[in-house]
Amino acid sequence: MNSFKYSTLLPKLPDGTGILGREKYFNSVVFVPFVEIDGEWNLLFQQRSSTIRQPDEVSFPGGGFSSRKDRNCMDTAIRETVEELGIPRESIVVEGRLDSLVAPMGAIIEIFVGRLTDSDVSSYNINKDEVAKIFTVPFRWFLENDCETYKVRLEIQPYIKNGSGDKEIIFPAKELGLPERYSEPWGGIFHEVHLYRTAHGVIWGLTAEIVRELVRIAKI
């Protein structure tokens, strides 16, 4: 059997700009659309339909990357925006992006930023199966109003409880020869959750995280 040669490993190493274990996450894409209305730049948001995942929450256009439909993540951003807002592809201009966002609930979000060339948002033929309504908020409002910040506790659970309240072990730490403490929940780190209260409703979670990052960049 040939021995391992360290020199053969080095050329195979990645360049360090990717995300280790990306395939274990749900990979999604959002498009952050700016639209100029009466000389002022606004962010356009959508309220999700009550019949889809995360119903009635406020988000940006977006969805899961599909290797069957999309050449790359920017294609996903454009495709999902066309499908959800009911606007032509030609009216979407992608002009930049933010860093990848790794969400604690097991998703990696690629974030593209750009503008919509049609300022008459009332003319958009939104997909009612996915979008209940759309609305705009002047970006200036976010520059002038800080978000509220709360915390949630994230904990690793080695077991779940079934309908009768009995434990169902999903990570058998004891049988694996691991320390006893891993037979019970561990971790318990605190994670910040940001929230904006707008005239159109509450913007929170990952959407608020993205807005907050844009505000930070704008104030540099």
Strand order in the sheet with 148-156: 148-156, 186-198, 201-204
Q: How far apart are the C-alpha atoms of 122 and 43, rounded to whole Å?
A: 15
Q: How far apart are the C-alpha atoms of 37 and 120, rounded to whole Å?
A: 8
Backbone angles phi, psi at 51, to 5 degrees: -105, 5
Q: Could you read off the pLDDT of 50-67 as tens digits, one per residue?
A: 777 777 899 999 999 888
Q: Which amino acid is at 58?
A: V
Q: Could you read off the pLDDT of 58-101 as tens digits, one per residue?
A: 999 999 988 899 899 999 999 999 999 999 999 999 999 999 99
Q: What is the DSSP letter of 205?
A: H
pLDDT tens-digit profile, the chain (220 residues): 678 999 999 999 999 889 999 999 999 999 999 999 999 999 999 999 877 777 789 999 999 988 899 899 999 999 999 999 999 999 999 999 999 999 988 899 999 999 999 999 999 999 999 999 999 999 999 999 999 999 999 999 999 988 888 899 999 999 999 999 999 999 989 999 999 999 999 999 999 999 999 999 999 9
Q: Which domains does the chain have, with CATH numbers?
A: 21-152+187-218 (3.90.79.10)
Neighbours of 174 (CB within 10 A): 13
The maximal CA–CA distance of the chain, rounded, in angstroms, is 73
Exposed/middle/buried for 203, CB within 10 Å: 0-12, 13-18, 19+? Answer: buried
Closest alpha carbon to 77 in 59, 60, 54: 60
Contact 98, 80 (CB under 8 A): no
The Cα-based distances of 202 to 46, 126, 140, 151 in angstroms read: 12, 21, 17, 17
